[in-house]
């Protein structure tokens, strides 16, 4: 559809310009004809009026009274009157050689007193608007066309005539003694008007045709450009479709391989945990001395086995968590919980770590933090453990603080330490999996680079946000906002 529409430009242009052309030519031609005819009537009316004045002056003395009172005569008497015959002679004499082809004279009451056509004598014209106008002193004219016309010289054909009604008023007086109707033959002038109109139409046709030819070339050129661009767009579209298909395919492959990776990690982690639990469990039993005395050297080795085992187990648990999250198998387990109880659990674990490094560890929960909220207690606990154990791990002296506040619609968990801090360039990427500020093999701090990735994924799963403020050498603050619903029915949930 679009394709066709685009290439109809020349067709639309041709049709539109033809219509405009016809309308414009007809409009100009008819306007100029009307103007010319109006001019013609005005000019001829003026000369008719002047001519009428000449007749009025000539016939007043001898025929004025006859005309003024002729209406009282019987029609036949009038037709046979010798005065009328004399008047006819005079009028014909003075009219000879003019463009005036007929004259009629009316008495003031509208009765036709004189006409070159005898049959018209006696006709009543009192209701004729032209007559009425003339009687009141004005001039009324009209352009008429006649197939045949009874003129002074007999019947003539195919004539354009300007007929004017003018008052018969001798010069110097106000007395109107009759009305004269002058028939002025303007056929030659009308021929001039027609010729002029033909010239105008021809001129317009030539101008418009030239204009059309020029515009046609411009429009055809524009259409060629459009056609070419359309072709290019279609080619590009086809290419885009192909690229899209490839992208879609690549995306599917990537999603599939990510799923396989997560599945593999999850299976492997699971399989590794079983033997590892045996290593940790049995080495623990030996350390506790349940199996009897062990010499110091062996005990030291067994303790290292136990610690390494635990480290490995943490790593595997983290990998398992990440794999679960990525494969979309992690679901929040939400229930009514009290953050104070969660903090108590966490505190016990972190306190030992902090004391081992000689650090102060404090927790503060604002009084207005609700007793019961709906949330996933285990996941929140893990968020706190990951952040706090990092705080302890990356702090050599000073303190680690946990501060919890309630901000109307969300809970704000802040973990602040006075440790080594995180350089600005690393503040984004440390939340990615396996990323650490210093990942070289000579790094001081142990770790897998998964703790913060897990924290971020949990926070996102709970529709919360995590922010980091840190300065190298001064310490770091992690701010976690969790939008949690307040449990209203049970204010003191466990
Ligand atoms: P891990 O601690 O196991 O290396 P994490 O994902 O928990 O992995 O942290 C990633 C990295 O972010 C850390 O290796 C460390 O470089 C940096 N980091 C995290 N927490 C802190 C902290 N409180 N102070 C300084 N650096 C930190």
* Predicted local distance difference test score (pLDDT) of residue 442: 58
Best of 422, 432, 453 for a ligand 1 pocket test (most atoms within 8 Å of beta carbon)? 422
Q: Whose CA is nearest to atom 14 of ligand 1?
A: 436
Best of 382, 392, 394 for a ligand 1 pocket test (most atoms within 8 Å of beta carbon)? 394
186 touches 99 (CB < 8 A): yes
Atom number of ligand 1 nearest to Cα 417: 23
The DSSP result for 160-203, as a single string, is EEEEEEEEE--TT-----EEEEEEEE-HHHHHHHHHHHHHHHHH
377 touches 335 (CB < 8 A): yes
Atom number of ligand 1 nearest to Cα 439: 14
* Predicted local distance difference test score (pLDDT) of residue 166: 93
Could you give the CA distance from residue 438 to residue 421 in angstroms, rounded to a whole number? Answer: 12
* Predicted local distance difference test score (pLDDT) of residue 104: 94
* Predicted local distance difference test score (pLDDT) of residue 443: 67
* Predicted local distance difference test score (pLDDT) of residue 56: 87
Could you give the CA distance from residue 224 to residue 36 in angstroms, rounded to a whole number? Answer: 46
Long-range interactions of 121-130: CB distance < 8 A, separation 24+ = 121/75, 121/78, 121/79, 121/84, 122/75, 122/78, 122/79, 128/165, 130/163, 130/164, 130/165, 130/181
Residues contacting 373, CB < 8 A, separation 6+: 336, 337, 338, 339, 411, 484, 485, 486, 487
Instruction: Tell me if 395 CB under 6 Å of ligand 1.
Output: no
Instruction: Tell me if 376 CB under 6 Å of ligand 1.
Output: no
Instruction: Tell me if 391 CB under 6 Å of ligand 1.
Output: yes
Q: Whose CA is nearest to atom 7 of ligand 1?
A: 451
* Predicted local distance difference test score (pLDDT) of residue 493: 43
Strand partners, 415: 402, 478
The two structure tokens encoding residue 132 = 């009425």
- Whole-angstrom CA distances from 491 to 294, 370, 373, 410, 482 are 53, 7, 8, 17, 19
Best of 314, 382, 390, 469 for a ligand 1 pocket test (most atoms within 8 Å of beta carbon)? 390
Residues contacting 6, CB < 8 A, separation 6+: 226, 227, 230
* Predicted local distance difference test score (pLDDT) of residue 492: 46
Instruction: Tell me if 436 CB under 6 Å of ligand 1.
Output: yes
Q: Which of 111, 48, 115, 49 is nearest to 75 (CA)?
A: 111
* Predicted local distance difference test score (pLDDT) of residue 494: 41
Query: Which pTM was predicted?
Result: 0.51
Backbone angles phi, psi at 305, to 5 degrees: -60, -45
The two structure tokens encoding residue 494 = 């466990």
- The Å distance, Cα 357 to ligand 1 centre, comes to 17
The DSSP result for 16-43, as a single string, is HHHHHHHHHHHHHHHHHHHHHHHHHHHH
141 touches 163 (CB < 8 A): yes
Best of 396, 421, 436, 480 for a ligand 1 pocket test (most atoms within 8 Å of beta carbon)? 436
Mean pLDDT, contiguous 10-residue spans, the chain (494 residues) = 58 87 89 91 92 88 86 84 90 90 92 89 92 92 91 89 92 86 93 90 90 90 89 94 96 87 77 88 91 88 90 82 76 92 93 94 96 94 95 96 94 97 94 84 75 94 96 96 85 44
Instruction: Tell me if 394 CB under 6 Å of ligand 1.
Output: yes
Q: Whose CA is nearest to atom 23 of ligand 1?
A: 391
184 touches 100 (CB < 8 A): yes
Strand-pair category, 112-115 with 100-106: antiparallel
The DSSP result for 412-471, as a single string, is EEEEEE-SS---GGGTTGGGSTT--S--STT-SS---S-HHHHHHHHHHHTT-EEEEEEE
* Predicted local distance difference test score (pLDDT) of residue 472: 95
Could you give the CA distance from residue 156 to residue 149 in angstroms, rounded to a whole number? Answer: 5
Atom number of ligand 1 nearest to Cα 386: 7
Instruction: Tell me if 478 CB under 6 Å of ligand 1.
Output: no
* Predicted local distance difference test score (pLDDT) of residue 6: 53
Q: Whose CA is nearest to atom 11 of ligand 1?
A: 436
- The Å distance, Cα 461 to ligand 1 centre, comes to 21
* Predicted local distance difference test score (pLDDT) of residue 433: 87
First to last CA, the chain: 68
């Amino acid at each position: 559809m679009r394709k066709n529409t685009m290439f109809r430009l020349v067709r639309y242009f041709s049709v539109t310009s033809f219509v405009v052309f016809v309308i414009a030519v007809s409009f100009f031609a008819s306007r100029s004809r009307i103007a010319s005819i109006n001019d013609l009537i005005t000019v001829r009316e003026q000369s008719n009026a002047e001519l009428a004045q000449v007749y009025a002056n000539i016939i007043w003395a001898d025929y004025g009274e006859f005309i003024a009172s002729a209406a009282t005569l019987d029609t036949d008497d009038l037709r046979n009157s010798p005065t009328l015959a004399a008047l006819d002679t005079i009028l014909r004499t003075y009219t000879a050689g003019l463009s005036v082809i007929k004259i009629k004279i009316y008495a003031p009451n509208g009765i036709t007193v004189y006409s070159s056509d005898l049959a018209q004598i006696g006709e009543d014209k009192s209701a004729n608007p032209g007559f009425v106008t003339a009687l009141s002193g004005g001039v009324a004219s009209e352009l008429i066309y006649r197939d045949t016309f009874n003129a002074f010289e007999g019947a003539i054909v195919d004539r354009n005539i300007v007929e004017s009604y003018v008052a018969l008023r001798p010069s110097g007086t106000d007395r109107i003694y009759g009305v004269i109707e002058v028939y002025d033959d303007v056929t030659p002038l009308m021929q001039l008007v027609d010729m002029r109109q033909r010239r105008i139409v021809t001129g317009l046709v030539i101008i418009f045709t030239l204009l059309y030819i020029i515009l046609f070339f411009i429009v055809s050129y524009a259409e060629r450009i459009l056609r070419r661009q359309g072709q290019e767009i279609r080619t590009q579209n086809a290419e885009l479709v192909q690229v899209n298909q490839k992208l879609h395919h690549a995306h599917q492959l990537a999603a599939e391989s990510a799923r396989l990776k997560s599945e593999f990690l999850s299976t492997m982690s699971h399989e590794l945990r079983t033997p590892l639990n045996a290593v940790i469990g049995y080495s623990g039993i030996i350390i506790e001395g349940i199996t009897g005395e062990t010499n110091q050297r062996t005990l030291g080795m067994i303790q290292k086995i136990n610690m390494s085992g635990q480290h490995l187990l943490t790593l595997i648990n983290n990998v398992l968590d990440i794999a679960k999250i990525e494969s979309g198998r992690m679901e929040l387990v939400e229930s009514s919980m009290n953050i104070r109880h969660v903090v108590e659990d966490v505190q016990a674990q972190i306190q030992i770590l902090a004391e081992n490094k000689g650090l102060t560890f404090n927790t503060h929960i604002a009084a207005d933090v609700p007793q019961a909220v709906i949330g996933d207690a285990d996941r929140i606990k893990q968020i706190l453990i990951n952040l706090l154990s990092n705080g302890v791990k990356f702090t050599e002296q000073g303190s680690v603080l946990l501060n919890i506040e309630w901000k109307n619609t969300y809970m704000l968990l802040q973990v602040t330490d006075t440790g080594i801090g995180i350089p600005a360039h690393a503040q984004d990427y440390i939340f990615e999996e396996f990323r650490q500020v210093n990942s070289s093999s000579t790094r001081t701090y142990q770790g897998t680079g998964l703790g913060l990735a897990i924290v971020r994924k949990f926070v996102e799963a709970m529709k919360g946000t995590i922010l980091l403020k840190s300065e190298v050498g001064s310490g770091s603050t992690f701010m976690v906002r969790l939008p949690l619903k307040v449990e209203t029915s049970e204010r003191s949930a466990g």
